[in-house]
């Protein structure tokens, strides 16, 4: 899908949202890989946050019409917050809010993160929880994918995108600036924690270019090295609990 088509769809959606919600609409924000310039066609989503002054079932019901065309184009439903909730929930979703703060484009209204105060108090706990949860899921999905080169490469590519977002939290916890682009974020984490960069580089290579490993055996070897490095990251975050 071309950038022109997506931009036209975004403009149309914002117009529909303004007509639907009126003065209740505070902000429409594009966040994540598309806002960071790290978007990969057919793999990355266009993620939207919509902030309203109030949210009732009627407000959400009215949103169905503007979302119909957006979903038809294959995009996920936006997340809805009230302006007040964005401040109140900053301690519950520190990873997500850091991501939105660092990679966002305000399509309409005021910047909802201009006055949101983010704290690192719960960042370590959420980072470890999310990392461990995704590692467990990675192991589960590897079982059926391990006998297919294409499926295994898809699993590594998709999962690394998720881990890269969590690596940003690891960098923040160490007082480092977290790059917006996923490859830069992974490389910064690799350098900080002295990890083996090769499996990450190889995954980003076939994620971007489609240049897959030559054999199923090679793909499984890359996966093994990749999982080892993810486990090392989790160990580092776990050990930080003793210092907090």
- Across residues 216-234, what is the average pLDDT? 96
- pLDDT value of residue 131: 97
Tell whether 142 is covered by a domain.
Answer: yes
Given 109, 134, 162, the domain boundary residue is 109
Closest C-alpha among 181, 203, 51, 24 to residue 114:
51
Write out the residue range of the structural domain in which residue 191 sits: 123-243
Could you tell me the pLDDT band of residue 41, with boundaries at 50, 70 and 90? very low
% the chain with pLDDT above 70: 90
Both tokens of 127, joined, read 């980072």
Tell whether 117 is covered by a domain.
Answer: no
- pLDDT value of residue 40: 45
Given 52, 86, 109, the domain boundary residue is 109
Same domain, 77 and 163: no
State pLDDT tens for residues 48-82.
999 999 999 999 999 999 898 888 888 889 999 99
Count the domains in the chain.
2
- pLDDT value of residue 208: 84
127 close to 178: Cβ distance less than 8 angstroms: no
- Across residues 95-107, what is the average pLDDT? 81
Could you tell me the pLDDT band of residue 45, with boundaries at 50, 70 and 90? low
Same domain, 138 and 227: yes
Tell whether 118 is covered by a domain.
Answer: no
- pLDDT value of residue 182: 85
Tell whether 116 is covered by a domain.
Answer: no
- pLDDT value of residue 38: 53
d(CA 41, CA 45): 9
Q: How far is CA 182 from the centre of its chain?
A: 9
**pLDDT(121) > 80:** no
- pLDDT value of residue 9: 84
- pLDDT value of residue 1: 45
> For residue 76, what is the domain's CATH number?
3.30.460.10
Model's pTM, two decimal places? Answer: 0.67
Given 74, 109, 144, the domain boundary residue is 109
- pLDDT value of residue 120: 67
Task: Walk across the sheet containing 47-52 and list its strands.
Answer: 79-82, 47-52, 25-31, 104-109
Q: Which helix (H) or strand (E) holds 107?
A: strand 104-109
- Across residues 196-222, what is the average pLDDT? 92
Task: Output 127 or 210, whichever has higher pLDDT.
Answer: 127
Could you tell me the pLDDT band of residue 104, with boundaries at 50, 70 and 90? confident
State pLDDT tens for residues 16-37.
999 999 999 999 999 876 765 6
Could you tell me the pLDDT band of residue 242, with boundaries at 50, 70 and 90? low
- pLDDT value of residue 48: 92
d(CA 65, CA 56): 16
% the chain with pLDDT above 90: 58
State pLDDT tens for residues 132-152.
999 999 999 999 999 999 999
Tell whether 114 is covered by a domain.
Answer: no
Same domain, 37 and 82: yes
> For residue 143, what is the domain's CATH number?
1.20.120
Same domain, 59 and 127: no
Same domain, 149 and 200: yes
């Amino acid at each position: 899908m071309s950038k022109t088509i997506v931009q036209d769809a975004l403009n149309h959606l914002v117009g529909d949202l303004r007509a639907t919600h009126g003065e209740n609409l505070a902000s429409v924000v594009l966040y994540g890989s598309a806002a960071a310039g790290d978007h990969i066609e057919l793999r990355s989503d266009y993620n939207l946050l919509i902030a309203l002054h109030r949210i009732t079932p009627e407000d959400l019901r009215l949103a169905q019409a503007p979302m119909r065309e957006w979903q038809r184009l294959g995009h996920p439903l936006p997340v809805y917050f009230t302006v007040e909730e964005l401040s109140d929930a900053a301690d519950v979703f520190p990873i997500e809010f850091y991501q939105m703060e660092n990679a966002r484009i305000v399509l309409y209204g005021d910047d909802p993160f201009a006055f949101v105060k983010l704290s690192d108090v719960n960042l370590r706990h959420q980072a470890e929880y999310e990392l461990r949860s995704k590692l467990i899921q990675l192991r589960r999905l590897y079982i059926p994918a391990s006998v297919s080169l294409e499926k295994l490469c898809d699993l590594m590519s998709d999962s690394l995108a998720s881990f890269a977002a969590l690596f940003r939290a690891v960098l923040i916890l160490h007082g480092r600036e977290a790059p917006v682009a996923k490859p830069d974020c992974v490389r910064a984490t690799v350098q900080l924690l002295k990890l083996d960069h090769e499996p990450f580089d190889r995954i980003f290579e076939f994620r971007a270019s489609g240049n897959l490993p030559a054999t199923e055996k090679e793909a499984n070897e890359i996966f093994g090295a990749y999982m080892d490095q993810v486990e090392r990251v989790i160990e580092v975050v776990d050990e930080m609990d003793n210092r907090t």
